[in-house]
Amino acid sequence: MPKIQKLDDNTISKIAAGEVVERPAQVVKELIENSIDAGSTEIIIEIENGGFDSIKITDDGVGINKDELELSIERHATSKLLKIEDLHEIYSLGFRGEALSSIASISKLKISSRQEGKDGYQLNVSGGQIGNIEPCAMNQGTIVKIDDIFFNVPARLAFQRRPATESAKIVEIAVEHAMAHPSISFNLKNEGRLMLNVPSADNLQDRLFDLLGLSANNLIELKSPPEDINAPGDELWSGWISPPELSRGRNDEVHVLVNNRVVTSQPFSEAIRRGYHTRLMVGRHPVAILNLKIPANELDINVHPTKREIRLKHSWRVLQRLERSIQYTLSKVPTQPEEKGKLTGITKVSDNELSNNLMESKKPKWVESAGKQLSLDNEIINEEKEIKKSKIQISTSPSNQKTLPQMNESPTSAPLSIEERALHRHSGKIASVSPVNEPKLSNSNNTQLPEMVPLCQFANSYIVVQTGKELLLVDQHALHERIRFERLRYSKQSWVPQTRLEPLKLELNAIQSERLRSQKEKVKEVGFLIDEINGEWFLNGQPAILSPEKILSFINDLIQDLGDEDRILNSVQNLKDHVAFMQSCRGAVKANQILTLPEMRRLLSDMRDIENPWACVHGRPTALKISIDELDRHFGRHG
């Protein structure tokens, strides 16, 4: 067996570089953060071949003293920490003193710097071998030029991504830091081509307009609810989020900044999802730029060498603030039905077609008979057989209805996602509840909605509604589902503990018992009454709304999440959402179901008592709006 021995400095440097310098984009990130910490107001980034051939960062910061140039590339040499206590309150972006040292060990680096009122000097380093300090002419600031990255570690170079992929990542990093620091101008060139050029801005809103263009006008400024002013904690969320109708298929456009530091959005994604709740369609993600201001002593950034990951001292409280802020902001945004920008599917009839139709008017019977030839079997020869079409529901006037609708055995139309398909799987075979037989929702006085008059049904699935100078096609199932969800999801009575006739013994191991013992009060808040007697656990009460077959599986999931405070809320919210989803879908009126006029009026009336009547619980639209102007244009009434 080989003996234990100490590695040489060259090997140690290359190992350390592997932790900090994963790819050229990471080099750009580290150097941008150094420039920001130096108080720069302008940062220029130039790359060649995705950064593999050359990376050059120029800033106008305070610069580096001649005597500190060589020290700046030594491992763990930094100007941002003086003593161990400073690790508890870090205000700079960098603090480890590893970036320049790691970069210098796996590339050919030249660092030039000049302080105000002094001469400029430069230092060359190749693969960790330090050259001489030489004078150079330059403006105040620092220039770091890196050539042939990974030239002395070919194994690392072999596993790198394509230059085009790296270039895209470098643009993404520059954009994120431009969002975090609006007062700094950023200029990015790739092989001489200008990729990004944003001047300094007074605030984040102006910077977003420079980065996102006109789409920034659709974003909504994040606001905290009034009750959070007196809530414990000094953390504060700000930023901009997209309305529900503006979404993406991935979460790439969710940017999270903590004290103007770019961090990964993954730890915050659940809170963002809960904030949007049912306003977003399944599988869709918002556009968001969120900035958290928090005391430095409540934040641990010394978690990962790349400093992309952080830990929060009061993560539960911080994430709940974010969720409440998103919910409050969206509640103040007026929702609208989906608009049909242009009528399609109806083609204009030409003059020739009109003439042919007139010529093919009904002929006398003797003319039709004379034109037909019979076979020996008394069948008409060459007669075009009528193609059998699938049966389509045809709506009838409500005045002809004699009885209220009964149980409908036809299945609900397939939803758009796997989750929705599972949810709707059996709903079509369950009797729907008539809207007129349901309790009235608490009046929210939604004055944003105009007067709506139901006219009829189309295909026994859509309610045709007149509202002012607009026509609405309302999906009766989607709307009723949303109304029922709001009634079930936020009913406190549904989650009141119901005492069991006989306690249910729970078989828990040591880990589960300790988790439950430490979080027993939180479990009680959800409606579960669980007691420990002589080391054994018994369930004495459960939420009334939860079906008996779901009890044990949910308790196991809940106890499993008790070890992580951030996940407790997820389990509770998911439970309430799941139960409300199931109950609202199964009892809602179905597609292909005849409704009476009173039932239509009740559905439209209940729309005023929910915050977002224009989207179902899966985020899909409940109505389509067609204006009278669009109809007039289609029929040529505008001249």
Structure tokens at 164: 């085009």
Which string of DSSP letters, residue by residue, matches 518-575? HTHHHHHHTT-EEEEETTEEEEEEEETTS-GGGHHHHHHHHHHHTT-HHHHHHHHHHH
Q: Are 19 and 305 in contact (CB under 8 A)?
A: yes
Position 544 scores a pLDDT of 74
Helix H or strand E encompassing 204: helix 204-212
pLDDT of 210 > 80? The answer is: yes
Q: How confident is the model at residue 426 (pLDDT cuts 50, 70, 90)?
A: very low
> Hey, CA dihedral for 221, 227, 229, 232, is it positive or negative?
negative
Encoded tokens for 617:
């619980």
For domain 495-585, give the CATH superfamily: MutL, C-terminal domain, regulatory subdomain (3.30.1370.100)
Q: pLDDT higher for 455 or 408?
A: 455
Span 50-69, pLDDT tens digits: 999 999 999 999 999 998 89
Confidence of residue 245 (pLDDT cuts 50, 70, 90): confident
**What is the mean pLDDT of the segment spanning 316-325?**
91
Per cent of the chain over pLDDT 90 is: 31
The token pair that represents 98 in the structure block: 């590893």
Is residue 240 pLDDT above 90, yes or no?
Answer: yes
pLDDT tier at 139, thresholds 50, 70, 90: very high
Per-residue pLDDT tens over the stretch 351-388: 555 455 544 444 554 445 444 554 444 455 454 444 44
pLDDT given at position 304: 66
Q: For residues 298 and 312, give the distance between their C-alpha atoms in angstroms, rounded to a whole number.
A: 6
Q: Is the pLDDT of residue 24 over 70?
A: yes
Structure confidence at residue 393 as a pLDDT band (50, 70, 90):
low
Does residue 420 carry a pLDDT above 70? no
pLDDT of residue 239: 94
Q: What is the mean pLDDT of residues 483-508?
A: 81
* 0.75 surpassed by pTM: no
Percent of the chain with pLDDT over 70: 76
Q: Is the pLDDT of residue 428 over 70?
A: no
Query: Looking at residue 72, what is its pLDDT?
Result: 87
pLDDT of residue 408: 44
More confident residue, 561 or 113: 113
Paired tokens of 609: 């008592």
pLDDT bracket for residue 145 (50, 70, 90): very high
Domain ranges (residues) in the chain? 9-198, 219-331, 495-585
Q: What is the mean pLDDT of residues 433-451?
A: 74
* pLDDT higher than threshold 60 for residue 346: no
Query: Tens digit of pLDDT for each residue in 188-208?
Result: 999 999 989 999 998 888 899
Alpha-carbon distance 165 to 347, whole Å?
45
- Assign 348 a pLDDT band (cuts: 50, 70, 90): very low
pLDDT score for 282: 73
pLDDT of 301: 79
In the predicted structure, residue 218 carries a pLDDT above the cut 70:
yes
How many Å apart are CA 95 and CA 139, to the nearest integer? 26
* Residues 320 and 569 sit within 8 Å (Cβ to Cβ): yes
| Between residues 60 and 346, the one the model is more confident about | 60
Given pLDDT bands bounded at 50, 70 and 90, which one contains residue 635?
A: confident
Task: Report the Cα 415 to chain-centroid distance in Å.
Answer: 21
CA-CA distance, 51 to 148, in Å (whole number)? 9
| pLDDT bucket at 18, cuts 50 / 70 / 90 | low
- Evaluate whether 270 touches 285 at the Cβ level (below 8 Å): no
Cβ atoms of 225 and 233 within 8 Å: the answer is no
Q: Under a CB-based contact definition with an 8 Å cutoff, are residues 123 and 130 in contact?
A: yes
Task: Using DSSP, state whether 48 is helix, strand or coil.
Answer: strand
pLDDT score of 219: 92
Whole-angstrom Cα distance, residue 70 to residue 109?
A: 12
Residue 380, both tokens: 């008409």
Q: What was the pLDDT predicted at 347?
A: 46
- Looking at per-residue pLDDT, the higher value among 19 and 591 belongs to 591
- Reported confidence tier of residue 537, pLDDT bands at 50, 70, 90: very high
Residue predicted with more confidence, 404 or 309 = 309
Task: Identify the pLDDT of residue 411.
Answer: 40
- Predicted confidence (pLDDT) per residue in 564-585, tens digit: 555 555 556 666 776 677 777 7
Give yes or no for residue 415 having a pLDDT over 80.
Answer: no
Count helices and strands (H / E) in the chain.
Answer: 19, 25
More confident residue, 336 or 480: 480
**Per-residue pLDDT band at 123 (split at 50, 70, 90):** very high
pLDDT at 538: 93
Instruction: Please give the pLDDT value at position 511.
Output: 78
Name the pLDDT band for 227 (thresholds 50, 70, 90).
confident
Count CB neighbours of 609 within 10 A: 17
**Is 80 exceeded by the pLDDT of residue 586?**
no
Domain at 9-198, CATH from 2.30.110.20, 3.30.565.10, 3.90.950.20, 3.40.640.10: 3.30.565.10
Q: Is the pLDDT of residue 405 over 70?
A: no
Pick the range with the lowest mean pLDDT from 6-10, 114-118, 226-230: 6-10
Pick the CATH number of 219-331 from 3.30.230.10, 3.30.70.3040, 3.40.50.720, 3.40.50.360: 3.30.230.10
Average pLDDT over residues 274-300: 86
